[in-house]
Chains A and B, each alone.
Chain A
């Protein structure tokens, strides 16, 4: 017994004493092994996937993409390859490729918690993509300005908020968000997402102190490649009185399209004024709505001004990257108006984004049934695939040894006896904890 104790102690000391160099060498060995496996089996999904995951984990993202894309090509239904292809593409700031890969995982991935993570991740990646596109657009502005945007592609710029009531400032994004949502409903226009507009706005400092000058607004429209821009404003004119205006501008000519809108009312009539603005914009753009489409557009997400103000504050916080704060504002909007479904979905999305990291996605994946593919890469077992566990169990059941007993101890319930204790069975001694009556006669012939 003392000797066995020494062996255990030596094993433990050996583990702690392994220098970092040995670990590095082991990693190099794994990479070399996975590379050999992928080269020898270019049509193996498992081999390519394992090599790609290993490269990703070694922060060699460009190298990771090649085998991962090969694995995706070989098996378009392999969710793990798609997921890691997305993670690698995101690290390389190829957001379009990342979104494509993530959407593939949403379609074929098997792990529900990872799919939820990816949905939140897609929101973040879309914003990052918009920011990258905005930078690129500004860099190529002269070239882009030569290409006229389609007349049916419309961008709604942040509203200009005037007057002395600072509480209304969040409506610059809230009203723009509402108008974008309404203009998109009939599906007769291509309405630029608010994220893209916000990214351009941030890039060219479109809105300074809540003001948008006409020249900069047209410039923004050209950069987004929108044929038309909608500029709105809300002026507090004292007490609860407000004036809402809007104009639709042709980005190529900088000329107004249609008559625009200029209406007075009170804050209580904010949503009615917004609907008037939207219907007038449709008229200016030459879009005729059916009665059903009008009814759809006329539907209001909330009747509560306070809920809408909280929602608008949430959008501002979200734009500034303060996701926890955004989630609280959206939650506040939902608590003021429990029927405000957009606030609920925004609250969930902001909360998910604030907690969403690639590390969390990987952790969720590794604890799922798809995690065996990652383990295969980390351990250098390229041949490992979901079927590995199945085959391993088959071996344990048809050719059991003590290895199976110790390998499964503490991971499952007490395992049943894997083999027959032949001699004890034959003599009945194995049954004796509950003794049976009977007579055993042993006849042994002399040799």
Chain B
């Protein structure tokens, strides 16, 4: 435990002198979350749960330059009746990112490094827990325990076009090799493909509210294991949201996103079919005294290789209130739905999530 806390302490210590630049503007965010999904029931039930504690420190050095440092603690488990529980816990990688704004919010240069402070050489018994949290449909707060050292450089531009704000950005992520898994006595040394991202987005005020839509496209180079190269498929993400204040201190949020992964190959030349996850949600918030309450519901659809693979309904409530310099945001959500496999009966899914986001600013 002490070893796991040490990197965390290092990050806080590193942030302290930065914060001294302008303590009034530094923000510290911590967001403990517990998520658990049970797939199927009875003797074939599989429960994948995670306690994730993402945290971040954001330090504005000046009006134009800020640095943020972030990481997570995660404890993930996969339980199947009659089998040993696969479990992995510890700190994940840490990210340090600097953003420099140019002009009057005209452009930004962003540089970041992914420090390999996470879990590597994952042994057999922990691989299920380390891998299944990366599922794009049952989104977990921490999706990977380690991705290896990587650097990302990017640039973004923003400008107005009539009533619209246009935001365009591009980045390149250079990844280096890391020891992903321990397989018996061997180590699987894995080099993720480099990634180029392009993002185009629009936003504008709508009445007293706002609307935004964006497309992010990620093109990946080939992953590499020993002499074997393969690519798991490029990704495209479309996101949109409409926020509308209503009368009586109420507001309405409509949001949707769609993540598409193109066909590719996995390790060993195994085909990796395309998949698509679409999500649409509606939330109605209202202020009651010092408490903001936002019931919400959303629907998520997963298709895999062109076939329906999953349907999930999430219903919950988010709260927000201030305590001194703390903004406290508890939330809870219940999920139910089904997973589908062609030719097989559907598998029921139930789950819940609870989180307590605390922001100090």
Partner of A386, one of B70, B165, B275: B165
- Chain A residue numbers with a CB within 8 Å of B318 are 410
CB distance from B115 to the nearest CB of A (A): 11
Decide yes or no whether B270 CB sits under 8 A from chain A: yes
Please count the residue pairs between chain A and chain B whose beta carbons lie under 8 angstroms apart in the complex. 353
Which residues 285-342 of A sit at the B interface, judged by CB distance below 8 A? none
Decide yes or no whether A272 CB sits under 8 A from chain B: no
B360 touches A401 (CB 8 A): no
Partner of A421, one of B37, B147, B220, B331: B147
Which residues 350-405 of A sit at the B interface, judged by CB distance below 8 A? 364, 367-370, 379-391, 393-395, 397-399, 401-403, 405
Decide yes or no whether B131 CB sits under 8 A from chain A: yes
B235 touches A420 (CB 8 A): yes
B166 touches A390 (CB 8 A): yes
A412 touches B70 (CB 8 A): no
Interface magnitude class on chain B: 35 or more
B95 touches A398 (CB 8 A): no
Decide yes or no whether B85 CB sits under 8 A from chain A: no
Partner of B134, one of A12, A424, A436: A424
- Chain A residue numbers with a CB within 8 Å of B22 are 29, 33, 380
Interface magnitude class on chain A: 35 or more
B95 touches A403 (CB 8 A): yes
Decide yes or no whether B156 CB sits under 8 A from chain A: yes
Query: Complex Cα distance A111/B245, Å?
Result: 11
Mark the stretch among A3-11, A179-187, A210-218 that contacts chain B.
Answer: A3-11
Query: Complex Cα distance A29/B358, Å?
Result: 25
Partner of A444, one of B70, B101, B186: B186
Chain A interface residues toward B at CB < 8 A: 3-4, 7-8, 11-12, 15-16, 18, 26, 29-30, 33, 37, 44-46, 110-113, 364, 367-370, 379-391, 393-395, 397-399, 401-403, 405-407, 409-410, 412-417, 419-436, 438-445
Q: List 20 other contacts, CB 8 Å, given A391-B167, A398-B171, A402-B54.
A: A3-B1, A12-B323, A379-B25, A386-B165, A390-B203, A393-B212, A398-B198, A401-B68, A403-B58, A406-B30, A406-B55, A406-B56, A414-B314, A420-B220, A421-B131, A425-B134, A425-B272, A428-B270, A429-B130, A433-B339
**Which 7 residue pairs of A and B lie closest in terms of their CB atoms, listed nearest first?**
A429-B131, A421-B134, A394-B156, A424-B134, A430-B134, A413-B281, A26-B24
A-B contact list, 19 entries, CB within 8 Å: A15-B323, A16-B324, A46-B105, A113-B208, A386-B165, A387-B158, A398-B216, A402-B95, A403-B68, A412-B253, A413-B298, A421-B144, A426-B192, A428-B272, A433-B37, A434-B339, A435-B341, A444-B183, A445-B226
